[in-house]
Structure 1
Amino acid sequence: MPIRISLPSCLALVSAAFLLIGHPTSAQQAEAPAQRLGLIPLPREVKTSAGTYSLPQKISIYAVSPEERNVATLLQGLLAPLGKTVTLTSSRTAAQIQLLTAATPNPEGYQLVVDKGGVRITAAGGAGLFYGAQTLLQLLPARPVATSLSYVRITDEPAFRWRGAMLDVCRHFFPVEFIKRYIDFLAAYKLNTFHWHLTDDQGWRIEIKKYPKLTQVSAFRKETLIGAQQTFKKPEDFKYDATPYGGFYTQEQIKEVVAYAKQRYITVVPEIEMPGHSVAILAAYPELACKPGPYETWTMWGVNEDIVCPTEPTFRFFEDVLTEVSALFPGPYIHIGGDEAPKTRWKESAAVQDIMRREGITDVEKVQGWFNRRIEKFLANKGKKLIGWDEILEGGIPTSAAVMSWRGEKGGIEAARAGHDVVMTPTTNMYIDYGQNPQPHSPFEPLMIGGYLPLDRIYNYNPLPKELTPDEQKHILGPQANMWTEYITTPQKVEYMLFPRLLAVSEVAWTPAARKSYAAFLPRMGQHFARLDAHKVNYRVPEPLGLDSASLVSQGGKALFTLRSLVPGAQIRYTLDGKLPDETTELYTKPFAVPQGRQLMVRAVTIAPNGRKSPPAELLVK
């Protein structure tokens, strides 16, 4: 698992972007229909016309082929909150919603038409029909107060083939029902890849029948570190909760999740870490180490120097594991990690020295490349493609292997130039376990790993590096957001870190960069909070806009503040004495001024219609 590097804190120029909304560019004016409809991700083309179509109390969905019927069945469930009777039919004339298969330029593209004849979604196959159905749901109100649809014609397709999100279940474990909910989140915003990080030093989470001790021993740790490890300076700072922790997914549960994702046109990519991040394996099978044990499943975070030894028993172990894994996951890729593998133990090992002499390897760091190439060949024989973090480039790997560029874009650029397919997932833009507050370890945010990744930095990311030629850019499969869980202990906290940032990720993955506008995205995003409320999502309520140095206006010795909320129907409450605003403090109704020349802490919070509050926005006026 890639370790994260703390980013320098900086203020997002959110309010400045928001001000642009009042002066739309010609591109924004062209997207006016999409803006009014609040669609995320932004479709390629939206045309509206006068008129509305009202869905009746009894709705029939026309679907004939297996893919059409799969999407119709899903849509039937998704429309259930409307309180209407929804059935499937093979009679096109009797249907209010028609799912139709026809050739389209992009296999995931679709066309959605609403007119006096009802709703028609046309696509080349199930994926496009499903994405059209998700757009249809966004055309309907968040709550079942009405079912009238404006006449519209939408033609749409994604910018990237790989639109991914990862969830680490090793540091903290999440039940199957939440994994399905996470998949639903991805599906709702047209992401098509779920990267499931299943093994690491702190826990092995997948049943392997040939190695039962992986779930008897490696899936559990005796206790967990308390607090933010990155802030500890002395050994006595390290304290533990003395509570055993663990869990794993049975193979039947894995199959259940994979089938659930497949039905929603999401490919599951499992990650089985090797050769690093493997001390949990050694806790159960110490004979795979370079030096005698005992070992235990790790109770800390970070990088452990104890890793498997690259000997024949280790290869047999991983080949056996990957044989079972390959049978469980029908997708083309198996992720092997490949990152953060210290060679301390290998340098000390006589067995590794023998391997180096036999294979003609002069640098112990290159042994990992030899290891990876053997695993790549084995996976190829199983009909699978190897994918790994960008460290796999360092020891040499065939171009048939794909690369995830996490340490910035350098590895991805190098890989694409060499002919590898690449997923762009740099820490600087795609690590959504990073903080959402410019203040490191803010007391108003839950405990997290640190760093700062605001919404605008995600949204403005372009996965196509300008350093690459057009032909080289063809190797960029797409972007992926990563959710590591050292400090993310519950499903509710996953949701807090995920939303609303997933909406920005969605548009990075689906909408061409030239058509994106952060200023235009913000009001569309605002329309989705009611949808998140309807699904009881524990999203992070955004702070009020306008309390940052970029928006400060000096006038006659006073600082003038104009505040805005991104949440429709929300209140803004503020204080001028540094206290934390709440429901009892001053209600913002119009711009206010404060005197300059003496220090004054201004704080403001958003109070959403559901009563939940944002962290405070704050600015020290001098």
Structure 2
Amino acid sequence: MKISLFLLLLTLSASPFTSGAQKSAQQNALFPYPQQVSWGKETFTFNNETQLIYTNNDAKKVAHYFSDFIQPATGYLPSLLTTEEARLQYKLANSANKIAFLLLEKSSEEAVEGSYHLTIDANKVTASASSEVGLFYAAQTLRQLFSSDIESRMPINKAQWLLPSVDIIDAPRFKHRGMHLDVSRHFFDVTFVKRYIDWLAFHKINYFQWHLTDDQGWRIEIKQFPKLTSVGGHRAQTVVGHTYDYQSVFDNKSHGGFYTQAQIKEVLAYAKELHVEVIPEVGVPGHSTAFLAAYPEYSCHKNLVKVEQRFGIFEEVLCPTEDTFTMLAKVYQEVATLFPSKYIHIGGDEVIKKQWLESDFVQQLMKEQGLTNGEEVQSYFIKRVSQIITGLDKTLIGWDEIIEGGIAKDAVIMSWRGIEGGIASSEAGHDVIMSPYQYTYLDAYQSRSVDEPKAIHGYLPLKMVYGYDPVPADLSPQHQQHILGAQGALWTEYIESPRHAEYMLLPRLSALAEVFWTQPTNKNWSRYSANVDHIITRYQKMGLNPSTSAFTASTKIDVVKSGELTVNLTADIAGKNIFYTIDGSEPAPYSKATYLYKNAITVTQPVLIRVAVESAQGRTLFSEVNVALAPHKALGKKISFAAPPKTGEERLLDGIMAYQQYYNVDDFAVFYDEDLDAIIDFEQATEFSQVQLGIDTGKHRQLQPPVSVEVLVSNDGINWQSLLRLTPTQIKGPLLTLDFEQVKMQFLRVIAINAKNSTDPQIPKLPLYIDEIAVY
């Protein structure tokens, strides 16, 4: 007789296992962490005699999956019992040394797909669930309960493998647990995409959003429009460095690739076996340069364009003509036929409306449809595409820009620009997938370390990912029901290789998985962070390239007074020794110049502090972060502006130079429309003979310099004397040093002219960044 999983869980709630039992750190290293875990004191011995049993054909799939997984490391080929044999075994008194995969009758009380129960004692392992996917997730948890050696694809010389006794009752918090991959900016082959899906399944992530089209390449074969891939699938070259660098450099190498429909079917079949639903993203109406390079007749201007070689947001946009919608109906028909998912993602983000508003056709369309602005034209376009998607019996997903001008009926909103779009959409009755870039975009930098590889921008350390909650605190329970779940993203503008992708994903993907799966009451940063070592080790045993950035120390700098700073060093991962040098040398074990950090450091002279953290094994230092400090005379003094910066005013006199770290906009005062014209009041006549101006970053970015810099002084703040002026040929970053004869003055004025005011057409109109005005 079958019993329901719901009744089984009730029965097991009075388990003899106790959460207070002693357990190793390895036992705690489960990710995402289950909802209920009770550790026992015994161990189960997995050896060459262990049998795998299952209840029916669906359970047999999971048993075979598990058997295939453990064979390379263990060398064992365990026997698998048929359904009838399994039933017979469970009627026998001796059922020891068995791992059972039991598919149970589903109870009407169960609501969450993926629930499972896993119990291990000295005699047996029992995984039970009311669905195949639940049983599959139980197998993933069981996999993590083995030592990380089990991940080896080569034989490990062990006669037996020990599993801790445990009782786990588990279910996912959200039904949508998603991860995205951009293959347009850099193309990744089928082999990598399958491995990516492997990683998602291992983390109990059930949706894979495949970003297949963008300005830099069209990656999906559409048989009715072959030029989408033959022309749109290739670009002549790619920008080297950051796309917004002051002076762009290109690699002069063609880049391209696309997936045939046969290859896509292969990936879809693979994902299905791992219980991952693949959502195609074919974006319109913006990010369409590759589309229009192939078929320029669907633009409003009809001009020839090239597949974009830079990254960013571009003006090319599909024109809202009937011909365009007819073509899109054919494109999405092929997409819908290929992909069994109920969803099609149509993008809809970052649409520049300039070409629409300059088009006579669009102006006439606006009159006919009663549209008053570009946002309403966008809404019209999205609603027409929504009709196409709905007609294909699919549900449209779009980035949160599609709510501007009016939301298409039944659209699901993916809120990426923050949480506001998700809140507004859920309150309007739309289902929402939360994907705010501040917490879920894994292409951002992971630490302030100088060792970080090039990334797009922003700062998203492991702890910040882990701390995210997809349900906004001020959303009513009624509207919370519209939060389907959350999703992470990996955009690949600056990620060119699988190893780099692994580095950006891991271990942050484990933190994100816990955001998706684990109830907030069961999340615990202390527990999770204490096991990051184990998590990273498991990834390494899987042959992957995880980042150790989580161990990087953070610095907090306080201005004490003019000419003095204090430095406090901390690490998100507790229990690690922090070492530093102040002479510019590399921190190294046993070096006389390397100090163990114990208390705050006082700095009274310009200095480069280099900080590193001890590895789990000790002796090895890694994840170095550098901070160039300038304890100068203007610290703590009043500063005023002819026109203040848009952001970062406090950065001009904080004593920290940005050029020793990767680019972060928060390190700079940013002047978008104005020049720097700042006056520092020393409150009394003060002697100084040097001004230093930080104008650039030291790694991965080349910021636009000013076209001239001038230093002036005054004793009354009215009459000014010019001391020194630098011309463009004298301005080279990242740090400008202006020396002059010593003066004694109360007021110092620094003027840096923004290049946007230059008459030189070769100078791009980019913001002016200044990170410090240091006075000595």
The answer to whether TM tops 0.5 is: yes
| Closer/same/farther in 2, CA of residues 468 and 180 from structure 1, 3 Å limit | same
Alignment of 1:22-37 (within 5 A): 36-37=27-28
Amino acid in the other structure paired with 2:142: L
Q: Secondary structure at the match of 2:244?
A: helix
Structure (1 or 2) with the larger CA radius of gyration: 2
User: What root-mean-square deviation, in Å, do the aligned CA atoms of Structure 1 and Structure 2 show?
Assistant: 3.0
| Closer/same/farther in 2, CA of residues 400 and 612 from structure 1, 3 Å limit | farther
Q: Of 150, 157, 170, which aligns to 2:171?
A: 157
Report the CA distance between 1:582 and its aligned residue: 5.2
- In the other structure, the counterpart of 1:73 is 64
Amino acid in the other structure paired with 1:510: W
Bigger mean CA offset, 517-526 vs 574-583: 574-583
- In the other structure, the counterpart of 1:437 is 447
Alignment of 1:505-544 (within 5 A): 505-542=512-549, 544=551
Report the CA distance between 1:434 and its aligned residue: 0.8
| Closer/same/farther in 2, CA of residues 565 and 396 from structure 1, 3 Å limit | closer
Note if 1:215 corresponds to 2:225.
Answer: no
Q: Is the 2:37–2:167 Cα contact (8 Å) retained in structure 1?
A: yes
Note if 1:248 corresponds to 2:258.
Answer: yes
| Closer/same/farther in 2, CA of residues 437 and 566 from structure 1, 3 Å limit | closer
CA distance in 2, matches of 1:290, 1:579: 59
| Closer/same/farther in 2, CA of residues 281 and 542 from structure 1, 3 Å limit | closer
Report the CA distance between 1:418 and its aligned residue: 0.6
CA distance in 2, matches of 1:351, 1:558: 62
- In the other structure, the counterpart of 2:432 is 422
CA distance in 2, matches of 1:121, 1:339: 43
Bigger mean CA offset, 326-335 vs 61-70: 61-70
| Closer/same/farther in 2, CA of residues 395 and 247 from structure 1, 3 Å limit | same
Q: Is the 1:546–1:561 Cα contact (8 Å) retained in structure 2?
A: no
Report the CA distance between 1:395 and its aligned residue: 2.6
Q: For each residue in 1:197-239, what CA deviation from the matched residue of structure 2 results, as whole angstroms up to 9, or x when unmatched?
A: 000010000011111111110000011111112332xxxx122
Q: For each residue in 1:37-96, what CA deviation from the matched residue of structure 2 results, as whole angstroms up to 9, or x when unmatched?
A: 321111111112232111121443223433212222221222122221134321222771
CA distance in 1, matches of 2:481, 2:387: 24
Report the CA distance between 1:243 and its aligned residue: 1.1
Q: Secondary structure at the match of 1:151?
A: strand
Report the CA distance between 1:526 and its aligned residue: 2.2
Note if 1:96 corresponds to 2:110.
Answer: no
Give structure 1 stretches of 5+ with no counterpart.
1-28, 552-556
Alignment of 1:127-526 (within 5 A): 127-144=133-150, 145=158, 146-232=160-246, 237-438=247-448, 443-526=450-533
Q: For each residue in 1:308-331, what CA deviation from the matched residue of structure 2 results, as whole angstroms up to 9, or x when unmatched?
A: 111111111111111111111111
Give structure 2 stretches of 5+ with no counterpart.
1-18, 90-94, 151-157, 559-563, 632-776
Q: For each residue in 1:534-572, what CA deviation from the matched residue of structure 2 results, as whole angstroms up to 9, or x when unmatched?
A: 111111113646663399xxxxx999999889599x997
TM-score by length of 1: 0.87
CA distance in 2, matches of 1:526, 1:100: 33
CA distance in 2, matches of 1:278, 1:562: 46
CA distance in 2, matches of 1:314, 1:610: 62
Note if 1:113 corresponds to 2:127.
Answer: no
Note if 1:604 corresponds to 2:612.
Answer: yes
Amino acid in the other structure paired with 1:77: D
| Closer/same/farther in 2, CA of residues 612 and 316 from structure 1, 3 Å limit | farther
Q: Is the 1:279–1:295 Cα contact (8 Å) retained in structure 2?
A: yes
Amino acid in the other structure paired with 1:98: A
Q: Secondary structure at the match of 1:218?
A: coil
- In the other structure, the counterpart of 1:21 is none
Identity over the aligned pairs, expressed in percent? 39
Q: Is the 1:180–1:260 Cα contact (8 Å) retained in structure 2?
A: yes
Alignment of 1:554-565 (within 5 A): none
| Closer/same/farther in 2, CA of residues 169 and 31 from structure 1, 3 Å limit | farther
Alignment: residue pair count = 581
Which is strand-richer, 1 or 2?
Answer: 2
Q: Is the 1:581–1:605 Cα contact (8 Å) retained in structure 2?
A: no
Q: Secondary structure at the match of 1:480?
A: strand
| Closer/same/farther in 2, CA of residues 82 and 320 from structure 1, 3 Å limit | same
- In the other structure, the counterpart of 2:702 is none
Q: Of 123, 129, 133, which aligns to 1:123?
A: 129
CA distance in 2, matches of 1:310, 1:380: 18
Q: Secondary structure at the match of 2:334?
A: helix
Note if 1:84 corresponds to 2:76.
Answer: yes
| Closer/same/farther in 2, CA of residues 310 and 84 from structure 1, 3 Å limit | same
CA distance in 1, matches of 2:20, 2:384: 53
- In the other structure, the counterpart of 2:35 is 44
Amino acid in the other structure paired with 1:368: Q
CA distance in 1, matches of 2:598, 2:546: 29
Q: Determine which structure has greater relative contact order: mean sequence separation of CA pairs < 8 Å that are 6+ residues apart, divided by chain length.
A: 1
CA distance in 2, matches of 1:395, 1:458: 32
CA distance in 2, matches of 1:391, 1:594: 46
CA distance in 2, matches of 1:45, 1:514: 11
Amino acid in the other structure paired with 1:355: L
| Closer/same/farther in 2, CA of residues 474 and 547 from structure 1, 3 Å limit | closer
Report the CA distance between 1:588 and its aligned residue: 8.8
Q: Is the 2:555–2:567 Cα contact (8 Å) retained in structure 1?
A: no
| Closer/same/farther in 2, CA of residues 620 and 515 from structure 1, 3 Å limit | farther
Q: Is the 1:560–1:592 Cα contact (8 Å) retained in structure 2?
A: no
| Closer/same/farther in 2, CA of residues 591 and 171 from structure 1, 3 Å limit | closer
Report the CA distance between 1:585 and its aligned residue: 4.7
- In the other structure, the counterpart of 1:580 is 586
Q: Secondary structure at the match of 2:349?
A: coil
Q: For each residue in 1:465-497, what CA deviation from the matched residue of structure 2 results, as whole angstroms up to 9, or x when unmatched?
A: 012111100110111111111111111111111
CA distance in 2, matches of 1:34, 1:354: 71
| Closer/same/farther in 2, CA of residues 480 and 345 from structure 1, 3 Å limit | same
Report the CA distance between 1:595 and its aligned residue: 6.7
Q: Is the 1:582–1:605 Cα contact (8 Å) retained in structure 2?
A: no
Q: Is the 2:446–2:550 Cα contact (8 Å) retained in structure 1?
A: no
Amino acid in the other structure paired with 1:48: W
TM-score by length of 2: 0.70
Q: Secondary structure at the match of 2:231?
A: helix
Bigger mean CA offset, 245-254 vs 584-593: 584-593
| Closer/same/farther in 2, CA of residues 308 and 399 from structure 1, 3 Å limit | closer
Q: For each residue in 1:218-270, what CA deviation from the matched residue of structure 2 results, as whole angstroms up to 9, or x when unmatched?
A: 000011111112332xxxx1221111111001111111111111111111111
Q: Is the 2:417–2:436 Cα contact (8 Å) retained in structure 1?
A: yes
Bigger mean CA offset, 243-252 vs 390-399: 390-399
CA distance in 2, matches of 1:98, 1:610: 41
Q: Is the 2:100–2:126 Cα contact (8 Å) retained in structure 1?
A: yes
CA distance in 2, matches of 1:480, 1:187: 14
| Closer/same/farther in 2, CA of residues 562 and 59 from structure 1, 3 Å limit | farther
